[in-house]
Chains A and B, each alone.
Chain A
Amino acid sequence: MEFEKYRIEAENICVDYNGKVALYDATLRLKAGQICGLVGMNGAGKTTFFNALTGFVNLSKGIIRINGESLKTAQQDQSVAYVPQNEGIDSDFPINVWDIVMMGRYGSMNILRSPRESDIQAVKNAIGRVDLLEHTFTPIGNLSGGQRKRTFLARAIAQRASILLLDEPFSGVDIRTEKLISELFLEFKKEGKTILISTHDMIHIREFCDLVLLINKTVVAYGDTSEVFTPENITSTFGGMSPDFLFGPES
């Protein structure tokens, strides 16, 4: 069947909050090993798009299929991992790195969520991959922005999801984290994971996004980065402002 080739298939999805339209007629298709950038202004529907893909809001129209299956099936299969923005996290919560990463395994544990040996190994391995072993038992409140970001990335790794959704992965992180995340993305790509990232940073888009989805309440342009990521398209995505004005002349 045609749709089984796609990891993510969102067809003409619409979302409204109490009658206010947040996103309409948005379509996105991504295959294994593809990295797609999600670009738009604040309020253009980026977060809504993520909300729809994680099942956090109901669609008023359209359909989403993950690996050819329903969203519910995808959730039960642990297929989708969401890495939140730093602002979306309560950094005063009494919890440490280990416990957060372990939450990536909850979906496949028993009802008491008591970790098996394999879960412990997965968590250790994930923390190692984001280079946080020395902070394994550090409370989240004592981590830097970059370390916090890496913690949630480790949770997604521990979850062993085939699809990663990352909300502003590069905002408020240090250079070391930025480099580490970039390297991880390339590894994920090789492993055949599908990645959707929202970002304000145009340089990162050109660096490793195969595809780019420009949105402003609906899809402005979608396709290969080299073809779609043009000054004209960016300008219309950002409501008429030129990319020079937005990101400086070099972009």
Chain B
Amino acid sequence: MTEIAQLVLNGIIAGTILAVPAIGITAIYAVLRFPNFAVSSIATMGAFAGYVANVSFGLPAAAAILVGFLLAGLVGVVSDEIVLKPIRRNGLLAAAIASVALTLALENVVRFFFGNDLRSYDLPIARDWRFLGLRIGPQQVENLAIALIAMAAVFLFLAFTRMGKAMRAVADNPMLADIKGINADTVARIVNFAGMGLAGIGGMLIGLDTSIDPLTGFRAILSIFAAAVLGGLGSVPGAVVGALTIGIAEELSLLILAPPYRSAVGFVAILLVLTLRPRGILGERAY
């Protein structure tokens, strides 16, 4: 019983962290209408930018994560502007294909400079806390807090700022938004910056828990897309619900499956939800 409770607790933490990149990818989908697979290597880049800030420049993890956010967002905007945006005119599926090529290229840029070795962040060593027979590490709590702050910022941005409202308008009805004078290009740039920035935070949060290498983001891509599809591709609250479901399901799967099959859980979840309820748990509304 305690074991299951521990797994659920781990799942909630993992799911909250997973929600950050899942929100990023679902927001980009809501506005640009194609699955951008570049998210996996941009998450890796965020993790490595945070690593450099943390290990080479001695910033604490919470500050280094901001560096990860900024670099990932920047790479997201620039790569979209140069690579994906012109290809979107030839078709959204062509852009999806190009995003796979893009993610492979970016992953290898990381590999070129850092090699394939596993790297760990410079973190203070701390003893796990215990309560009611459950264990939780201070770093896990910090990660949870960072993820929650990032999510709160997204919801406040979407609910209260002019740009957030414009973004929801474009996601809801691009033609109507255009008539109202909302500049779709600006919205696309902002959503790319914020979405890929969130992916960068997600990559670093995943790395803080274990270690990082050029495949950090790629290993998480099935879980990230599973979270987004489960909640309804294009729905921000859906991504949170989906991420928590996937996080808990992946941890509970350890009861019956070997650890390498964790990421297969996401795939099974995608198959199930597409067969039973293709719109996802919360449907396709952006907000």
Decide if A and B are genuine partners: no
